[in-house]
A and B are shown apart, each in its own frame.
Chain A
Amino acid sequence: MSKPLIQAGPATRWSGDEMKRRVARRYAAERRFRALGLAAVLLSLAFLAFLLVTMIVRGAGGFSSTFLTASDATDPAMAGVWGALKGSMLTILVTMALAFPIGVLAAVYLEEFARRNRWNDLVEVSINNLAAVPSIIFGLLGLAVFLKVMNLPRSAPLVGGLTLALMTMPVIVIAGRNAIKAVPPSIRDAALGVGASKMQVVFHHVLPLALPGILTGTIIGMARALGETAPLLMIGMRAFIAAPPAGVTSPATVLPVQIFLWSDEVDRAFVEKTSAAIIVLLVFMLMMNGLAIYLRNKFERRW
């Protein structure tokens, strides 16, 4: 009779109490590690919840029809966000009018036409770098170039929009390139095959198919520009402006800067106003991000 391959019984190392203890210890470590991971996620989200609840509790009482229709005022009871909101809209409009076309065209060029040479590598490197440059540096650029060299008006939505456009453009280029890259080559081949020129291929076929992806990236970039404060402080947008701006060259303030200005006020009543303004800003950000997610889910295609 041959010996069994594995000997059962207490003699082996694999079934003793020592082994059970070891396995139990390793499984306990496993559970601890898992719990630690969950705790990290929950702790991060708890911070977010704490922040949101704080703002809502402090700011909910600040809403009134005056608050939504008035501009900045020295008396907190008369102060409102409409002026800042209008300033934000004008600024974002300028930003979008510049950054979107330039960003999309640059993305098309880099993805569809640029040959790999030193010059185009330089363009690519500088776009990738610009996406990571701190926003305050763009503010310094705006101050030195738009205000000092070009003599554009201080504190105007035009200058703010220009500065933010330079900041947002790389984001749109990067999103645009990814969206264009995702369009399968067969589309291009088919269009070229029936005699379309390279330009027609790009503008009639590739770009429309890539547009949802580009728009998603653009909206996210715009949302970031909407919440940006530091570069606008650099170009002088920190003055007390008591009337909504009439146009893109009149002095204006924007919502995040208004929040910053109010947060500096000594009057305790401004705490409520600041928090209420933050709620307004967050609602806008949420709406824009929600729109981006909706667009992505609705139009995104897996080829």
Chain B
Amino acid sequence: MTLFLALVLVVLVAAAAAYLARSRAAGLRASGGGRLNSLPGYHAAFAFLWAAVPALLFLAAWAPIQEQLVNGAVLASAAGRQLPDFDLARANILGEAYQLATGQIAAAISPDAARIAPVYREALGRYGLIGGGFALLLAIAGAAWALTRVRATFRARSGVEKWLMGLLVAASLIAILTTLGIVLSLLFESLRFFSMVPATDFLFGTQWSPQTALRADQAGSSGAFGSIPLFWGTVFIGAIIAMIVAIPLGLMSAIFLTQYAPARLRSVLKPMLEILAGVPTVVYGYFAALTVAPLVRDLGLGIGISSASSESALAAGLVMGIMIIPFVSSMADDSIAAVPQAMRDGSLAMGATRSETIRKVILPAALPGVVGGVLLAVSRAIGETMIVVMAAGLSANLTANPFNSVTTVTTQIVQLLTGDQEFDSPKTLAAFALGLVLFVVTLLLNLIALHVVRRYREAYE
């Protein structure tokens, strides 16, 4: 019995239980057994949940266990002991045997797979029968128990609502589990990386050349994992160049849209500006690489910078800045709107012009909110991947020349995890260490920004 068949059977049992419960409850009502506490539909739902949920939970837990058991049984068999010890090759053969045993493919390429397929099929059948049978028993037991509870006085609705409450709590737990999953997987892989490469070398080294770690027999095969150049490149593109573009444009746009534009013009311009935020980053990346980068290089060559690269930091930063404009603009918009009208009126009544009011009164008052918004924008910019992967370079340079090529943390993560190399090499694990740094930095930026914004909101409320 395959687990899929068990799944279908469980659902069928649950459906049958629901139908029985419903007709029983309806019968109680028809036979005048008193007023029902809960509608027949709730009795049906109660029976369905008790029949299906425990059995399905068991199946979900059983599936990975069965995989282990089957693999163990196959490897312990006479044919299985002859398989190569090498993990990758063995996994390939096992995968093929699995497909052969379940009928996904008609014939195997490797003779080993064909030989162990019958063993595989037998083990699969045996453990499937155990797991599937137990799940089915659970379903029938749950259904029977629920069916005995169908009475006029039984509060089926509260029972169903308890299940629903459990579902709600479970849904909210997913968020915590995701956060935990991120932290644990990044930490775990990073710790393994730091057991191969000292953390101080990683955090403070200035030499980045992980590609040399490709072959184990090479001299200096450990590669160089000093990530200072990556941090600098990330800051240079995301926090300096992009912000030089995004802050003035975003702030002035917000000022114009909130303070000057008539309502109708605003209702047209604001959604158009927001399209900028909706364009996928891969489109920006392509635009940066194909259109902006050559322009920037020509500009660099034109003003006499001979080292101007076609993968310049400027092109990537420029396009990233454009992407961030609507973000900065809407954050500035919010904080300008939060400045009390009385301050504005006071300034205007003193005879200040609108621009004077904006520059001398509104902006200083809105500054904490704007700063918070900029921090959020920086956090988004340094985590942005596709623009820099496509438009920024791969060479880890420590340079402040915007026409030169720099590389960023996200670019290197993508680069390190490209292709099918083994999972345990320092090269692959370095990507997780970089991810950890990125995660921590963006987290801190977000926390600081939220704190700043909240403090500032409280000041005017």
Q: Which residues of A line the B interface, CB within 8 A?
A: 26-27, 29-30, 32-34, 36-41, 43-45, 47-48, 50-51, 54-55, 101-103, 105-106, 108-110, 113-114, 120, 122-123, 126-130, 132-138, 140-141, 143-145, 148, 150-151, 166, 169-170, 173, 197-199, 203, 223-224, 226-230, 233-234, 238, 256-257, 259-260, 263, 271, 274-275, 278, 281-282, 285, 289, 293
Contact = CB atoms under 8 A, between A and B. Distances in A.
B404 interface: no
Given A122-B176, A133-B182, A44 B256 contact: no
A122 B385 CA distance: 28
Interface of B: 64, 67, 157-158, 161, 164-165, 167-169, 171-176, 178-179, 181-182, 185-186, 188-189, 248-253, 255-257, 259-260, 269, 271-273, 275-276, 278-287, 289-291, 322, 325-326, 353-356, 358-359, 376, 379-380, 382-386, 389-390, 410, 413-414, 417-418, 423, 431-432, 435, 438-439, 442-443, 446, 450
A123 B386 contact: no
> Nearest 7 CB-CB pairs, A to B?
A134-B383, A37-B256, A227-B280, A40-B252, A105-B171, A144-B185, A33-B355
A126 B67 CA distance: 33
Contact of B290 (A34, A129, A256, A271): A271
Contacts of B443: 129, 133
Given A34-B260, A51-B283, A136 B182 contact: no
Nearest to B160: A199
A45 B341 CA distance: 30
B175 A127 contact: yes
A140 B413 contact: yes
Contacts of A32: 355
19 contacts: A30-B356, A34-B260, A37-B260, A41-B269, A44-B322, A55-B283, A55-B287, A106-B175, A126-B175, A130-B175, A134-B439, A136-B413, A150-B64, A203-B164, A230-B410, A230-B414, A256-B282, A282-B283, A285-B278
A223 B290 CA distance: 24
A36 B253 CA distance: 9
Given A45-B273, A132-B446, 6 more contacts: A30-B355, A37-B255, A41-B269, A123-B173, A138-B182, A140-B182
Nearest to A148: B423
A173 B175 contact: yes
Given A41-B273, A197-B161, A137 B280 contact: no
B354 A30 contact: yes
B283 A278 contact: yes
Contacts of A45: 269, 272-273
From A39, A45, A198, residue with most partner B Cβ within 10 Å:
A45
B286 A130 contact: no
A136 B272 contact: no
Nearest to A166: B178
Contacts, number: 245
A136 B252 contact: no
Nearest to A43: B249
Contacts of B165: 113, 199
A41 B435 contact: no
Contacts of A132: 376, 379-380, 442, 446
B103 to A, nearest CB: 15
Contacts of A148: 423
Nearest to A26: B353
Contacts of A233: 414, 417-418
A272 B124 CA distance: 50
B446 A263 contact: no
A30 B273 contact: no
B19 to A, nearest CB: 23
A32 B358 CA distance: 13
Contact of A137 (B278, B290, B383, B417): B383
Contacts of A226: 280
Contacts of B174: 102, 106, 166, 169
Contacts of B272: 45, 48
A133 B257 contact: no
A233 B410 CA distance: 12
Given A106-B174, A285-B279, A41 B185 contact: no
A26 B356 CA distance: 9
A133 B439 contact: yes
Contacts of B286: 259, 263, 274-275, 278
